[in-house]
Amino acid sequence: MSINGGDIATITIAAFGLGISVVAWQAAARSAAEAKRSADSAESVARIERERWHSDQTPIFKAKLEKQEGDRAQLDLQLVGPLSLQSLDRIELTIANSDDLVRSAQLAGSRPQAELDAQVWGPWRFGASADGADATGKTVEPFGLKVGRGRPFALERTVPPHWQEGDDRMQRWAEQFRSKPVRLLVRCRKDGVVDPWVVPVDVEMPPPLPMVAFG
């Protein structure tokens, strides 16, 4: 079978057009890939900048505990920085365990997990019915603060859990946490910022009052 000149020209034009289409497709594919890489790079840079800003704006707290009469104390929590943060719109304050023990109901002879979690394992808890404290004395109602401002909270001494036995249970409990700090967990939010900050704060116990000699 012979192919005349017209057919050859048609095939040549078609092949040339196909080649142009392939080249154009490859160029478009490269352009799309470069655009995606550029977008991914821009998003990566933006994410890094957001994380850096979030880290730089981590709230700085200062906490002080002052003992009062009897089994009472006052906790003073101050938001001291950074200045560029200006304020926090929601602060959730929790008293965490003062030791590093993990108390699990899965251990043999342990109490139900709800009872273990409800106990403040430390020397102080939020005062009952003060500052919107919950029944466990672990948390208070959320609040806001401006940088440079603070807020006092009423505290009361913790008592051993009801399942502990022995006539000396109060003494053993007091000795167990006598030198332990009050550990706070401060969860903070600011309007317009998606991720919260979670800041641990240890409040050291004030030194005992010096003995006064008489006579």
Mean confidence (pLDDT) of the chain:
85
Predicted local confidence at residue 170, as pLDDT: 93
Q: Count how many residues are written for the chain.
A: 215
CATH number of the structural domain spanning residue 161: 2.60.40
Residues 81 and 143 both lie in one domain: yes
User: Which residue ranges in the chain fall short of pLDDT 50?
Assistant: 108, 215
- Token couple for 66: 């002052």
Predicted local confidence at residue 102, as pLDDT: 79
The reply to whether omega before 82 is within 30° of 0 (cis) is yes
Closest to 161 (Cα-Cα) out of 118, 113, 207: 118
* Domain ranges, residue 28: 1-56
Closest to 177 (Cα-Cα) out of 123, 119, 97: 123
| Cα–Cα separations (whole angstroms), residue 115 to 76, 96, 120, 129, 134 | 29, 15, 10, 20, 15
Predicted local confidence at residue 9, as pLDDT: 56
**Which of these three, 56, 87, 103, is where a domain ends?**
56
Residues 44 and 65 both lie in one domain: no
Characterize the bridge pairing of strands 143-146 and 60-67.
Answer: unpaired
> For residue 83, what is the DSSP state?
G
Predicted local confidence at residue 16, as pLDDT: 61
Characterize the bridge pairing of strands 143-146 and 72-81.
Answer: unpaired
Predicted local confidence at residue 50, as pLDDT: 84
**Cα 141 to Cα 143: distance, rounded to the nearest angstrom:** 6
Residues 103 and 10 both lie in one domain: no
Residues 15 and 79 both lie in one domain: no
Predicted local confidence at residue 44, as pLDDT: 76
Does the residue 209 lie in any domain?
no
Does the residue 212 lie in any domain?
no
| Cβ pair 150, 76 in contact under 8 A | yes
